[in-house]
Amino acid sequence: MANKNRSSPSSATPKLMEVSGFSLMNEDLLRNILSRLPAISFASAATVSKTWNAACCHILSRPKLSSAISLKPLPLVALQEVFDKVMSEPIRPHFAIASVGPGFEIKDVLQFMVEKVRSRTPIIVSSVKGILGRDALSHEFREVKWIDGNIDEVPVNTGIVLTVGFVPGLKVDVIPLLRQRKAPQGSMIDKFVQDIKSYTSSMSGCTSPQAIIMIGDGSVDQKPILEKLDYAMSMETIIVGDERGQFVYRSSDVSRNVGTNKKHSPDAVALVFARDRNKARGNYSYIMHLFIFLKFYEAY
């Protein structure tokens, strides 16, 4: 009876010891462990403590592009394969671009991506005539092109390449050229350019972004759009893309999405990279890495 009021060892003690053990862990060892986590687990780890968050921020302090290709015959299998690959390492998606073959329903791919990545991550899915990249499983370089109107000549028509990007110091979003069916194209182009300038100004304080990836509807003449953009933007703005595509997209600004603009149809879409005014100015040499990626994208 004398021991009645004596407290027994708490069941939480092992957990406290465990947390204490992690807190005392060598900083380099902690970073080494966190750097091996897949993206989703990495995101969770960043919320454990200030120490872990600082370690995660140190790991993702530079821009990162994660890309993979799959030629699996079943679209859903190929899509899951590339997604698992690009998210197999630490990354916080600032944007996602999926380029797919004729065997894919681009709306299905967009829905898959919307469900998998952060709600405010801008996404573009486009149907293309060719893809190239590193295979998600074998890591071998793969390339395939589809012939116009003659898909049967190509043994695989469900290829997909997915690229997810992390670009610290930049703000990224999708801005569409939404055309009213009865409105003249010229006025809609002017609004499109102004939307890009307004977004860039709100993010960076200047009206010309660092770079733009453009994808145009193949049934719409893209020449006047590109001419207007070229005239309106700074000489330093990189503009690349595909003017003969089919695409769907998701912008972080809900009002820009087609689902909320049923009276409009997108003639083109721009993935805009603007400098982040809230980040301290520093060495932006990594913009060259982005430039290399954009030129790579332009090839297809």
* Structural domain spans, the chain: 13-59, 64-166, 170-298
The CATH label, of 1.20.120, 1.10.357, 1.10.150, 3.30.1330, for the domain at 170-298 is 3.30.1330
What local confidence, expressed as pLDDT, does residue 272 receive?
95
Q: Which residues of the chain have pLDDT under 50?
A: 1-20, 298-300
What local confidence, expressed as pLDDT, does residue 22 receive?
53
Residue 77 neighbours by CB under 8 Å, 6+ apart? 70
C-alpha Rg value of the chain to the nearest Å: 23
* Amino acid symbol at 60: L
The residue among 67, 75, 127 whose CA lies nearest residue 99 is 127
Phi, psi of 271, deg, nearest 5: -95, 110
Question: Are 199 and 173 in contact, with CB atoms under 8 Å apart?
Answer: yes
C-beta pairs of 229-236 under 8 Å, 24+ apart in sequence = 229/193, 229/196, 232/193, 232/197, 233/208, 233/209, 234/208, 236/208, 236/210
Task: Look up the CATH architecture of domain 64-166.
Answer: 2-Layer Sandwich (3.30)
Q: How far apart, in whole angstroms, are the C-alpha atoms of residue 186 and residue 260?
A: 23
3-class secondary structure, 218: coil
Other C-beta atoms closer than 10 Å to the C-beta of 292 total 11
- Polymer length of the chain: 300
Q: How far apart, in whole angstroms, are the C-alpha atoms of residue 194 and residue 207?
A: 9
What tokens does 50 get?
């200030």
What local confidence, expressed as pLDDT, does residue 277 receive?
86
Question: Are 94 and 210 in contact, with CB atoms under 8 Å apart?
Answer: no
Q: How far apart, in whole angstroms, are the C-alpha atoms of residue 244 and residue 129?
A: 10
User: What tens digit of pLDDT does each residue of 244-268 get?
Assistant: 788 999 999 998 987 655 667 899 9
Q: How many CA atoms lie within 13 A of 86 on its CB side?
A: 30
* Amino acid symbol at 144: V
Q: How far apart, in whole angstroms, are the C-alpha atoms of residue 141 and residue 242?
A: 22
User: What tens digit of pLDDT does each residue of 148-202 get?
Assistant: 655 555 556 789 999 999 988 899 999 999 887 777 778 899 999 999 999 999 9
pTM of the model: 0.84
Domains 64-166 and 170-298 share a fold: yes
Residue 105 neighbours by CB under 8 Å, 6+ apart? 75
